[in-house]
Structure 1
Amino acid sequence: MNKEEQVLTGFRDLFNKMVWLNKDKMEDSLKGHKSSEVHCIEYIERNTDSNVTKLAESLYMTRGAISKITKKLIKKGLVESYQKPDNNKEIYFRLTEQGKEINKIHEELHQEFRERDKAVFEQVTEEQFDSMLIFVERYNRHLDAEIKKLGADTRPE
């Protein structure tokens, strides 16, 4: 296996292990909420004037899938929709108090996981972080270009 394959396999293994380690605690703490719903809530909290298009682009989902998720979140009382007085066409989303509570639980879990993994990151030098960040940014730009070639509507559900 060459270094490129080792890096990609390493990323996949890291991601899969993180998901596996975090899964039970996430599911227990966020019962009744799917991962896609929680990530939608997280995006809405972090970004003002969130709409279906912005959510779809950020979460790499179709607009149709996001519409279904936001309807469920509205029905659950976690999200509410609104329009701006100067634009009756566009629909935006914001969290309700219940939605903010779900987001708070989610953030606390991520903080707990960061604390668990802190020992590894404490050993990384600034130069190593810089090198990793350069690589991740470069790879992200490459993948963004590849996604753009395919067109935004071909993102997976």
Structure 2
Amino acid sequence: MNKEDLVMNEFRNVFNKMAWLNKNKMEVALEGYKSSEIHCIEYIGKHADSNVTRLAEAFYMTNGAISKIAKKLMAKGLIESYRKPDNKKEIYFRLTGLGEEVFTIHEDLHQEFRERDQEIFAQVTDAQFDSMLHFMERYSRHLDTEIEKQGIDLKPEQQ
């Protein structure tokens, strides 16, 4: 196996292990919510004036798919829509009180997972972090170019 394959396999392996380790706690703490709903709540909680277009770009989904998720979140009382006084056309989303509670539970779980993994990150030097980040940014830009070649214009906001 060449180094590129080894790197990609390790990325997948690490991601899958993290998902497996975190899954049970997430499912118990956030019972009744789908992963896509939680991720939308997280995005809305972290980004002012979130709308369908911004969510679709961030998650590489269609506006229609995000609209369906948003309708479910509104029906569950987790988000509400609003318009700005100076822009009556655009519809934005914000968390309700219940949405804030779910957002906080999710953020607390992520903090718990970060603390669990801190022992390994504490051993990584700034230079190693910089190198990993540099690689990930270059690879991400490459994938953006490949997506554009397919005629899809997806440029999510930096999170």
TM-score tier, shorter chain, comes to over 0.9
- Residue 12 of structure 1 corresponds to which residue in structure 2? 12
Matching of residue 50 in structure 1 with residue 50 in structure 2: yes
In structure 2, the residue corresponding to 1:93 is in which secondary structure?
strand
Q: Distance in 1 between matches of 2:135 and 2:37?
A: 30
Superposed counterparts of 1:12-31, under 5 Å: 12-31=12-31
In structure 2, the residue corresponding to 1:61 is in which secondary structure?
coil
Gap runs ≥5 in structure 1: none
- Residue 3 of structure 2 corresponds to which residue in structure 1? 3
TM-score by length of 2: 0.93
Shift of 1:69: 0.4
Superposed counterparts of 1:1-157, under 5 Å: 1-152=1-152
Gap runs ≥5 in structure 2: 155-159
Q: Which amino acid aligns with 2:36?
A: S
TM-score by length of 1: 0.94
State how many pairs are aligned. Answer: 154
Q: Distance in 1 between matches of 2:111 and 2:151?
A: 35
Q: Distance in 2 between matches of 1:71 and 1:53?
A: 15
- Cα pair 1:62 1:153 within 8 Å, conserved: no
**Percentage identity across paired residues of the two chains:** 68
Q: Which amino acid aligns with 1:47?
A: H
- Cα pair 1:57 1:152 within 8 Å, conserved: no
